[in-house]
Chain A
Amino acid sequence: MQVYLPIAEVSVDAFLLLGLGGLVGFLGGLFGVGGGFLMTPALIVIGIPPAVAVASGANQIVASSISGAVSQWRKGNVDVTMGIVLLAAGILGTGAGVALFRLLQRAGQIDLVVQLSYVVLLGIVGTMMGIESGRAVLRRRRGPRPPGRLHQHFWVHRWPLRMRFRRSKLYISAIPPAAIGFLVGVLTAIMGIGGGFIMVPAMIYLFGMPTLTVVGTSQFQIVFVTAATTLLLAATTHTVDVVLAILLIVGGVIGTQIGTRMGQLLRGEYLRGLLAAMVLAMAIKLAWDLVAAPLDLFSIAVGK
């Protein structure tokens, strides 16, 4: 059933979009990630203009991450102070990202920058996750390790502008969280991702936050940053396609529930290993597209 997307100005099969939303939601629920890094490239592949894919993708992430955020909030796993620092910087980052997106689009380099960003980010995150889950599997086989310190003290604990993050039992500089929040905001606006897969490792390895507050706080941040991105893009570039977003959301919420249930049947480190493999495969595919000779050296952009 073809449906005309009023903002994207293309006609796409509604079931394709429902299926895509469902698949990304399923993988998101299975691995506990937002799935934006799969959604945006997939939308571009099926012919949605990149700007619309990013904006509508951000809108869809609001739906896919809100239920998790609400339940984390109820359990008291959100470090509100940390969340607000990340969020304030994140909204600034979104503004900068929107400006950067338009600049790159005019210069004709947006596709390249988005693709390169994906290759670098997915490559790093996939490798890190792969190593981590491999170690976890080995650790499990060797037996438990004696408990260590709460977290390691290094440079983030010595920088100025220190703040107390009560829930996370941290007293660290606000600069690194603000920097990460800003970066995630920029990436949300350029790549249409929630940024959980950057924020979670940063919180664990850079800030030394306890795992419990990491997940809750990152979900809190994702909901608000993607909501802010949607609003900003809707108000400035008018690229949010609600018809597209609704179809992705309907498919996505169903897929997420199925994925979450499946995820409970599998062991965490194997799941993370699988996700790492998928992320790396995606990175390799995108890298290949950059170096392989294109079918047509020329491309066109029709102006309005």
Chain B
Amino acid sequence: MTPRRRALAALALLAAAAVLAPGARAQQVIADLSRHLVAITTGFAGAEVLLFGAVDGEGDVIVTVRGPEGDVVVRRKSQVNGMWINTQSVTFGAVPGYYAVASTKPIEEIVTPPVAEREQIGAGRLRLEPERNIPPETVAQFRLALLRNMERNGLFQARAAPIRFLGQRLFRADIVFPANVPTGLYTVNVYLVKGGQVVSAATTPLSVSKIGLSAEIFDFAQNRGFSYGVIAVAFAGFAGWAASRLFQRG
């Protein structure tokens, strides 16, 4: 079975479960991914993961995807002696390396601002704190620059992607990962929203990791750097020498 067909089969199963188990009131939204591992292989050029789920009753659905967190340094250039030079920097801690959001309707229409703020729905509402004490105007400016740059790199998605309902209860959304997606553990949050409030939520993990040859090369380079260097130099030396011999004969 192809991943898509497998996903659809799972979707059908889920639908059956939703219909057949009306007593499960606590779990008003359930969701899963077509796969829980995004494998970065040698041919990796980005990936798409299908999220599917079902809701119990009326409501809108919002999905957020957060990548592994890390420090991000934002630098500002200014003109010094005619040259543009980095002069100011602000370091933000715990910035997700990837952030995407999807929803059935525009976010502002379905949740109240305090709720969106609390749940950090939308890249603009991510809680990003500078590491040092810096005047709030400066922080705001650097924060916007961070969002803009991450967006330009394809790692933050500012606009919410659409979630489609299939019938009354089933929904699906595509999560798109660009080729430069960071490796690590991701969290996918699914919210069921009614009357501006989150009434139910579910979390499912997703792992992005290097697999196969690219993983082996990376591990080798990290753990046995010197041997790796020797091989790299030996290969380069041999290739250069062999090519010149080959062309001389030809």
Mark A residues whose CB is within 8 Å of B. 1-4, 6-7, 9-11, 59-60, 62-67, 70-71, 108-109, 111-112, 223, 227, 230-236, 238, 240, 242-243, 245-246, 249-250, 253-254, 256-257, 290-294, 296-304
**Residues A300 and B75 in contact, CB atoms below 8 Å apart:** yes
Asked if residues A293 and B226 are in contact (CB atoms below 8 Å), the reply is no
Is the beta-carbon distance between B74 and A300 smaller than 8 angstroms?
A: yes
Tell whether A6 pairs with B232 under 8 Å between CB atoms, given A11-B46, A300-B72, A300-B149.
Answer: no
Beta-carbon nearest neighbor of B178 in chain A: A11
B86 within 8 A of A: yes
Is A245 a contact of B236 with CB atoms below 8 Å?
Answer: yes
Please report which residues of chain B, range 163-205, place their CB below 8 angstroms from some CB of chain A when the two chains form the complex. 179-180, 182-183
Q: Are A11 and B75 in contact (CB under 8 A)?
A: no
The CA-CA distance from A163 to B78 in the complex, in Å, is 49
A291 to B71, CA, bound (A): 29
CB-CB under 8 A from B41, the residues of chain A are: 4
Count of interface residues, chain B, beta-carbon cutoff 8 Å: 61
- CB < 8 Å neighbour of A10 from B180, B225, B226: B180
Interface residues of B in 79-95 (CB under 8 A from A): 82-86, 89, 95
Task: Known contacts A108-B86, A238-B221, A303-B70; decide if A227 and B43 are in contact (CB<8 Å).
Answer: no
A249 in contact with B149 given A231-B229, A235-B229, A243-B217 (CB within 8 Å): no
Interface majority SS on A: helix, strand, loop or mixed? helix
CA distance A302 to B73 in the complex (A): 6
Contacts A11-B46, A290-B83, A300-B145: A2 and B179 contacting too (C-beta < 8 A)?
yes
A242-B228, A242-B235, A300-B72 known; 8 new pairs, CB 8 Å cut-off, are A3-B42, A4-B179, A67-B243, A108-B86, A227-B236, A234-B221, A292-B84, A301-B72
Contact B236–A63 (Cβ < 8 Å): yes
Query: Which residues in A have their C-beta under 8 angstroms from that of B179?
Result: 2, 4, 10-11
* Distance to closest chain B CB from A272 (angstroms): 23
Give Cα A191 to B11, complex, Å: 54
* Interchain CA distance A157-B31 in the complex, whole Å: 80
Q: A66-B236, A291-B84, A297-B76 are in contact. Are A304 and B218 (CB under 8 A)?
A: no
Q: Within the complex, what minimum Cβ distance (angstroms) separates A178 from chain B?
A: 24
